[in-house]
C-alpha cells in the first residue's frame, strides 16, 4: 500500500515571532527545489506561534500544528489550550502523548486517549507518540511497552485520515543516538500489526512516523525502513536548511 509520508517538526519550547523567517525560508527551499518532495510537511511550534507561522506559511505546502491540547473544549483550566483553540489559530494537526509530556506532566495513556479524542472532536489530525525508555529497552520490554501504550492511547474508531502514530524511543530523543534500521523495522512492523488487528484497513493505511535524532545524514536510511511513513523531528526542525535536508529524503 502506498502511504504518503509526513515530515513533521516539533519545535518544543523554542521560537519567537522572529522565527517566522525560518518558515518563510523553508517555503522558499521547498518551492525552488528542482525535485518536488513526495511528502507532506508540518511544523508544530509553541501555541503562541501557531497563528504567526500559519501566516508565514501562506501559499506553501507547510501545515502548522500544536504540540499538546487539553481534553476539554473550554472551561476552568488555567494555562491550558484546547484543540478547538489550536484549530481557530490555524492548526491542522496536534501532537499528543509526546514522551516529554508523559514524563514532565505525568500524562498517562488514558489521558493521551482523551486528548486524541479531543483532537478528533475539533476536526484535526492527532499525532500520537509512543516509545520506550532506555531502561525498558535494556530489560527487553520495548514491544510490550509499545503495545500497552498503543492499547491505552488510541481511542476506538480512529481512521488513517485522523490519526498518525509516531514511534519515538525516549533514549533517542535529543541524544544523537538512533536505533538501527533493523530495530526500527521490528518496532514499526509490530505497531502495524497492532493497528491492522484493531483498526483493519484503517490501521493498514495509517501513517507511522519514526522520531528520535533524525537529521539529514540519517534520514534516507531511516525513512527507507519498511512501515516508516515519515519523521517526527525535534532539534533538526528549527533551522530551515536542516529541516529541508530531511525533507530531501523524499525527493
Ligand atoms: C522529538 O522531540 O519529537 C524529537 C524527535 O526530538 P529530536 O529530533 O531532537 O531527537
Ordered mean pLDDT values, 10 residues apiece, the chain (251 residues): 96 98 98 95 98 98 98 98 99 98 98 99 99 98 98 98 98 98 98 98 98 98 98 98 98 96
Q: Which three cell numbers stand for residue 188?
A: 514499526
Distances (CA, A) of 108 to 1, 210, 225, 247: 32, 21, 29, 32
Q: 212: Cβ–Cβ under 8 A, 6 or more apart, which residues?
A: 131, 168, 169, 171, 172, 173, 175, 177, 178, 179
Asked about 168 being catalytic, the answer comes back as: yes
Query: Which is the catalytic residue, given 84, 100, 107, 168?
Result: 168
pLDDT in tens, 85-137: 999 999 999 999 999 999 999 999 999 999 999 999 999 999 999 999 999 99
CB-side neighbour CA atoms (13 Å) of 197: 9
Residues paired with 8 in a beta bridge: 42, 232
User: Is the shortest distance between the CB of 235 and ligand 1 below 6 Å?
Assistant: yes
User: Is the shortest distance between the CB of 168 and ligand 1 below 6 Å?
Assistant: yes
Ligand 1 atom nearest to CA at 98 = 3
Asked about 132 being catalytic, the answer comes back as: no
Global pTM reads: 0.98
Nearest CA to ligand 1 atom 7: 234
Amino acid at each position: 500500500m502506498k502511504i504518503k509520508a509526513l515530515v513533521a517538526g516539533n519545535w518544543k519550547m523554542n521560537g519567537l515571532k522572529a522565527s517566522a523567517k525560518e518558515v518563510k525560508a523553508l517555503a522558499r527551499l521547498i518551492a525552488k527545489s528542482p525535485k518536488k518532495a513526495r511528502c507532506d510537511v508540518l511544523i508544530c511550534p509553541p501555541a503562541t506561534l501557531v497563528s504567526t507561522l500559519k501566516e508565514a506559511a501562506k501559499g506553501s505546502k507547510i501545515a502548522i500544528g500544536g504540540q499538546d491540547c487539553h481534553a476539554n473544549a473550554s472551561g476552568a483550566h488555567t494555562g491550558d489550550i484546547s484543540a478547538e483553540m489550536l484549530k481557530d489559530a490555524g492548526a491542522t494537526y496536534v501532537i499528543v502523548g509526546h514522551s516529554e509530556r508523559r514524563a514532565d506532566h505525568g500524562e498517562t495513556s488514558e489521558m493521551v486517549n482523551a486528548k486524541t479524542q479531543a483532537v478528533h472532536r475539533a476536526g484535526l489530525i492527532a499525532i500520537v507518540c509512543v516509545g520506550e525508555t532506555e531502561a525498558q529497552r535494556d530489560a527487553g520490554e520495548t514491544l510490550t511497552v509499545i503495545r500497552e501504550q498503543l492499547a491505552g492511547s488510541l481511542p476506538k474508531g480512529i481512521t488513517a485520515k485522523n490519526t498518525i502514530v509516531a514511534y519515538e524511543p525516549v533514549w533517542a530523543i535529543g541524544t544523537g543516538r538512533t536505533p538501527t534500521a533493523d530495530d526500527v523495522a521490528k518496532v514499526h512492523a509490530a505497531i502495524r500489526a497492532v493497528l491492522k488487528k484493531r483498526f483493519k484497513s484503517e490501521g493498514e493505511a495509517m501513517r507511522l512516523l519514526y522520531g528520535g535524532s533524525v537529521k539529514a545524514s540519517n534520514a534516507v536510511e531511516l525513512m527507507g525502513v519498511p512501515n516508516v511513513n515519515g519523521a517526527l523531528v525535534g532539534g533538526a526542525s528549527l533551522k530551515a536548511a536542516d529541516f529541508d535536508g530531511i525533507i530531501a529524503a523524499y525527493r
